Amino acid sequence: MIERFRQIFGQAEGVRVFRAPGRVNIIGEHTDYNLGFVLPMALDLATYVAAAPSGGRNVRIYSEHRNEMREFEVDGLAERKPEQHWTDYPIGVAQELIRAGHALGPADLLIRSTVPEGSGLSSSAALEVSSALAFLNGRAMDPLELALLCQRAERNFVGMPCGIMDQYISVFGREHAAVEIDCRSLGRRYVPLPHSAAFVAVNTMVKHELSGSAYRDRVRECAAAVEILKQQYPGVESLRDVSPEQFEPAARLLPPVVARRARHVVTEDARVNRFVEAGEAGELARMGKLMLESHRSLQHDYEVSCEELDFLVDAALGMEGVFGARMTGGGFGGCTVTLLRRAAVAGFIEGITRAYEAKFHLTPRTYECRPSAGAGECKNFEKIPALS
């Protein structure tokens, strides 16, 4: 990667390489911006940024994936406006760093990523966190503040009202474990996963146009539910504060669509806690059942699934060694995640690929999900994947 940096920028003095992983969310979907619970794991799929200070007055950013270079004057970074372009993610991060008091100088950045875009595996957060580390270039920042800063960049500059999960897990991932995150307190608990279990993400290879607008709609609908429910339960500040037992008698107070959205969030928070209990007990069948319940709730109450995701879930359930499956990520395309016996992985990948090709005439990409360490600098000649 340093050699590639030399080819593009003409020099390779002082180059450092930083990595931030993508993630798969095992359970707890659309709960993070409702200050609830989520259970993601960081992946070995990651975004790498090679960076070095440069002469001149510009920041130059090159994306290998797009074979595209963009230049920005350092002195104008703080005033730039979004362009609905991939560079909004690193430029938004740069603005937040400047606001936080971190001076940025001229620099060259080379971006390489193995996280597939539009897959629901959080390529945007991986780009944000790796870019932040590259701009900092070894300067220290509290890890939680790093995650919050990158979330602010996506909310304030990119314009996506996201929760904290994606940036948080990219920073705090750990090998061999998922991370249960309390999105209100920002506390975490590392959750070892049963050794006999495997998780496989299957990419539909589609991303329907509704995804961005529907996400914003769901945020507004959940906020509307809170405003009504707090009249019944004065202590309610977010849907996280409402138990399933409290919700059902109060659901009649809500407009039907808002009630369905809130029902998903309330029951999903409870499913995360039950899933962690089942995982600690090694109860794979119970874990799979909760994943399927999560998908049906996302499919019918939250209405963020699509035909391709539903097919992958339903097809997986009939395959040997599978305990459960669900969509993961924002929805309307992207990936499913399937829980299965480790010994069944190869047969599952072959079977689900064949079934999806027969139905949609598309070849899905599959990724065995291996829990990975969180973001940091690559040292000691770690192996960085070539651009695929």
pLDDT in tens, the chain (388 residues): 999 999 999 987 899 999 999 999 999 999 999 999 999 999 999 999 999 999 889 999 999 999 999 999 999 999 999 999 999 999 999 999 999 999 999 999 999 999 988 788 999 999 999 999 999 999 999 999 999 999 999 999 999 989 999 999 999 999 999 999 999 999 999 999 999 999 999 999 998 766 568 889 999 999 999 999 999 999 999 999 999 999 999 999 999 999 999 999 999 999 999 999 999 999 999 999 999 999 999 999 999 999 999 999 999 999 999 999 999 998 999 999 999 999 999 999 999 999 999 999 999 999 999 999 999 999 865 566 665 4
Structure tokens given for 40: 């993601």
Residues involved in catalysis: 166
| Spatial distance between the Cα atoms of 304 and 65, rounded to a whole number of angstroms | 28
User: CB burial class (10 A; 0-12, 13-18, 19+) of residue 20?
Assistant: buried
Residue 87: enclosing H or E segment and its boundaries?
none
pTM, 2 dp: 0.93
- Contact, 239 vs 262, CB < 8 A? yes
Domain boundaries, the chain: 2-28+42-174
Amino acid at 246: Q
CA distances from 378 to 15, 94, 116 (A): 11, 21, 21
- Contact, 27 vs 40, CB < 8 A? no
Name the class of domain 2-28+42-174.
Answer: alpha beta
Count the helix, strand and coil residues of the chain and give each as a percent rounded to the nearest 5: 45, 25, 30
The residue among 336, 333, 342, 298 whose CA lies nearest residue 317 is 336
| Spatial distance between the Cα atoms of 370 and 340, rounded to a whole number of angstroms | 13
Collect all residues with Cβ–Cβ distance below 8 Å to 142 and sequence separation of at least 6. Answer: none
